[in-house]
Structure 1
Amino acid sequence: MKKLVAIVATGIMLASPVLSASAEEYEVKKGDTLWDIAQEFDTTVDSLLEINDLNSDMLYPKQKLAVYKKYLVEKGDTLYGISKDHDVTVDELKEWNKLTTDLIIVGQELIIKEAKEKAVAAASTSKPTEVKSSTASKKEDSQPDGETISVVATAYTADCEGCSGITYTGINLNNDRNAKVIAVDPSIIPLGSKVYVEGYGYAIAGDIGGAIKGNRIDIHVPTRQEALNWGVRNVKVTVIE
């Protein structure tokens, strides 16, 4: 079985005369949030929660957090194979680990950063089209009454390698890939709210995300292709209850 563990030490030197990699362990300061730490280290809140086995985003001063995962190289591994397994590129692996060649050795530890944001970046270059899921009605529901705000909407899917499929509020998206759920900033749209999203329909505000701050949402769709088709849109969201 491939070995993925959390990086919890700094200045690790590899047993190679030409290759080295450093890892980060962050000590929480007063006022820090997971969002701030994720932005500083170019990762995501979800990744920090997972690799530190955190059940909430509550932090306390001097708490030590692992900020990246690492991969332990096994016999027969190549940078190309590892990149494919983790949905990253060889160039990214080399950049993250300060590698100057493709040479890796058994027992070497490689930093693996969170790759989820790549889907959003790719989506921004795609032509927006209407999402069509297997359970979507042919006729769009009329917009209901309630407080309406304008937001920037991206899309994500639970159908991806390494995704748990469990939202922040405990909804299992793998049990229903067509579930209408959105990730929100709880200070703007309260978690658990029933909402209506223009071009998407009725949904539950049941998740959060590292990049979802302010007037932004992330809608859940069944597949990565539908996420790419959605792209990045300005839409109206009505909070019903």
Structure 2
Amino acid sequence: MTKKKLMAVLLAGVFATGGLFASRASADTYTIQPEDTLYKISKQFQTSVEEIKELNNLNSNTIFVGDTLKIGGHDEKVYTISPGDTLFHIALAHDATVDQLQKWNNIDSDLIYPGDAITVSGPQQEYAKSEVKSATGGTQAKTSTSSVPDTGRTMTVEATAYTAYCEGCSGTTANGTDLRANPNLKVIAVDPRIIPLGTKVWVEGYGEAIAADTGGAIKGNKIDVFIPDLDNAYEWGRRSVTIKILD
């Protein structure tokens, strides 16, 4: 490589890492689906009901299928293109790929112009929808948008919510699970005469859970879903839901 070519490459690298930076707030959007609630959406995107309401100027929890909501936000990094810059060197300097830069900026070619601003960071990743089995047999928290199981005995029950710190609560379930030490477990309280303890149950708006607890007021076709956060437990309220007994 000649000295002239080597200098050109080095300058390109310097320009790519030495341009002007700025950041701007950018909100993700979500289209409301059937059976969605603000609580379900807040859990999916790891935010709060109040934050969604404030961001969308909502005065109540009523939402409509097909409407678009702004969900949270993130700082979007913006880079001002300098003379000698290329998409390759900009991507290299910002831990991205050329394809990502083109996607984030709606660019169809490698052609860029000095002085233009280019986004060098993508949108916030969607909340991972994974579930992890625990040693107690429970299921760690996942998004409540899990699909309805194809099999299982279906029931309609009245569902309320509780936390590990409610008045009179010890934080330990009927089968010995410590909910204060394991706040992400999906657990429901049941009437063992209707749903035996240890049963895996799918709950509409909550997902798959383990029947691991009981309660003095939980008699007959009633369940109590465990929600670690008090505000979200209040948000759940009292509702009629469909459940499926999976085993």
Q: Where on the TM-score scale, by shorter chain, does this alignment land: which range?
A: 0.3 to 0.5
Q: Normalised by the size of structure 1, how large is the TM-score?
A: 0.44
Q: Normalised by the size of structure 2, how large is the TM-score?
A: 0.43
Higher Rg? 2
